[in-house]
Amino acid sequence: MAATAKRPEIIDLSRSLRGVPQCEDYERMISGMMYNPNKPELLEARHQCRGLTADYNNLDTKAVPSDQIFDKRLELLRKLVGKVGDGTFVEPPFRPDYGCNISIGSNCFINWDLTVLDTSLVVIGDRVQIGTGVSIFSAGHDTSVLSRQKFVEFGHPVFIEDDCWIGGNVVILPGVRIGRGSTVGAGAVVTKDIPPYSVAVGSPARVKKTIQSVEEEEQDPNNPYRNLVREDR
C-alpha cells in the first residue's frame, strides 16, 4: 500500500546519491507515497538512465585491454548508479530504471541480467553476491483500477545488507530488507523481511534455517574457511 507521509530518513539518504532529480514528486516517490511518474524531472531522470545504461551494456570490450575491463566497467557504473564502492563489478546486461536511486557497496559481484526498478531507493551493502536473472522491484501499484487510470503509483525502498548471497532468478518485492549474511535460494520470491544470517527459499520465500555469524565462524576452529587468505581482484 502507498504511504500517507514522506519518509525523512529516506529523503536524507537520497541526498548522498549522484544525479537524483530532487523535487516534490521525487520525494513522494521514494517515500512510498502516490506520485505522478510523468513529471518532467522524473521523465528526464529515466531518459538519462537509458543513455547511461546503453553505454554500460554496449561497451566495446575488444577496444579495451582485458586487464583494464574491470576499471572501465567501474568508471561507467559510477556514472549510471547513485553510488558504488571500490571493487564492485556488475556483468552486463544491467537494467536499472532510474539508476540514481541505487547504492551498491564495496567488493560486490553481480552477474548477468539484473533488473532493478529503483522507483524508491535500492541499497545493496558490501560483499553482496547476486546471481543471474535477479529482479529487484521497489515499484508498486495499488489494486485499485482507478489508480491506474489516474496513472499514479508508489515505491518502497529495498535493502540488501552486507555479505548476502542472492541466488539466480530471485525476485525481491518492494519494502523488503534482507538481513546481513543471508542466503536467498534460486527462484525465490521475497515478499517480506529476511532476518540476518538466514537461509530462505521458495515462493514466497521462507526461512529454513539460520547460520553462524561471521564472528562465530572466525572463532570456530572447525570452520574450513577461517584460515583462507583472501585473493583480491
Active-site residue set: 141
d(CA 224, CA 217): 9
Place of cell 529495498: 158
H helices, E strands: number in the chain: 6, 19
Are the C-beta atoms of 129 and 165 separated by less than 8 Å?
yes
Task: Identify the bridge partners of residue 139 per DSSP, sorted by sequence position.
Answer: 155
Rounded to whole angstroms, what are the CA distances from 67 to 62, 72, 84, 112? 12, 10, 20, 20
Q: What is the DSSP letter of 3?
A: B
Order of strands across the sheet that contains 89-90: 89-90, 109-110, 129-130, 165-166, 183-184, 198-201, 206-210
Q: What is the DSSP string of 28-81?
A: HHHHTB-B-TTSHHHHHHHHHHHHHHHHHHT--GGGS-GGGHHHHHHHHHHHHS
The set of residues, in sequence order, having a beta carbon less than 8 Å from that of 46 and lying 6+ positions away, is 97, 98
